[in-house]
Amino acid sequence: MTSSDRAGVGCLGSVLSALVFLVGLAVFLVVLVLVAGVFMAAIVVALVALGIHRLMLALSPRYRDRRQAHGAFQPTTRVIETTARVIDSTKPKRPE
């Protein structure tokens, strides 16, 4: 066995290593593009829903009236009020 025979095996290892790296990079990029695509699709759907809502508010008086009758959706106000009520209920009562 000569030294030139052994050099071929080392070259094959480098080629396989580069091939594995390239396949890994390709898989990473495909996953990255898919995640970005799903994120962008969600943003587009949200913007379309918001646009339809605004259009309905602008065109339909009945939709506006129904919206005003139910009140605005304010989950943070409800959470704050509920939390304050729970905190007040756990405080000890002072004798008067």
Query: pLDDT per position in the chain (96 positions), as tens?
Result: 455 555 556 788 888 999 999 999 999 999 999 999 999 999 999 999 999 988 888 888 887 777 666 666 666 777 788 888 888 888 777 776
Gap between the Cα atoms of 83 and 49, Å rounded: 31
pLDDT value for 60: 84
Torsions phi, psi of 8, nearest 5? Answer: -65, -35
**DSSP 8-state class, residue 91:** S
pLDDT value for 65: 78
pLDDT value for 32: 97
Q: Report the predicted TM-score, pTM, of the whole model to 2 decimal places.
A: 0.50
Sequential DSSP letters for 11-60: HHHHHHHHHHHHHHHHHHHHHHHHHHHHHHHHHHHHHHHHHHHHHHHHH-
pLDDT value for 70: 66
pLDDT value for 4: 53
